[in-house]
Structure 1
Amino acid sequence: MEYLYDSKGKHIANLVNAHLHAPSGQNIGHFLSNEKILIDMHGKYLGEIVASNRLLYNKTSPYQNVIFGSYGNYGNVGNYGNPGNYGSIGIPCGYRDVEL
């Protein structure tokens, strides 16, 4: 399980066994290991992991207009707790925060 944060250090998601979950536990997406990106529940590009634990949207990603299909709903994994704020890194050039 990995905690994922936005550029400001706010906890926004958990990555559990290649499935992306909201902090409250519901499945909101999936990790595609070959492409090293995250997709939403409709198969659309959601973002990628930057600086080891930041979920950010790459504005120049070649996957922005690709539909990967549905990978299923893996339900609710429960709440893993609030890890607190991880600290701001600012927004790297070419990225923006993910809108969940």
Structure 2
Amino acid sequence: MNKWVTFTLHGEGANAIQKVNADVREVAMQMGYKPLYIFRYDGSNESDEALNARIDGITAAVKPGDIILYLYPVLNGFRFDKTFIGNLKARGCRFAISILD
């Protein structure tokens, strides 16, 4: 079993979410969590097939029984969050969601 923490790549510009995410990720990685890199993008016109393929690529190394620490918000929209979590739960993964406000 592996432990994973989402690592959202926001691009240019710093904001409070990036700083808090970085702090939580740093602690999680010191505790043995591996990063799941997620690029922030506008997927409003993305097909379901493309979204599922994107998530499959992000999570290719994740196996059933693994634990994912999902640092919310990822800022890719509710559809991304719902699909990401749903796909991994269907694969037998367990979740902890940290809401950063």
Report the TM-score when normalising by structure 1: 0.31
Q: Which has the higher contact order (CA 8 A, sep 6+)?
A: 2
> Which structure shows the higher strand fraction?
1
> Which structure shows the higher helix fraction?
2
Report the TM-score when normalising by structure 2: 0.31
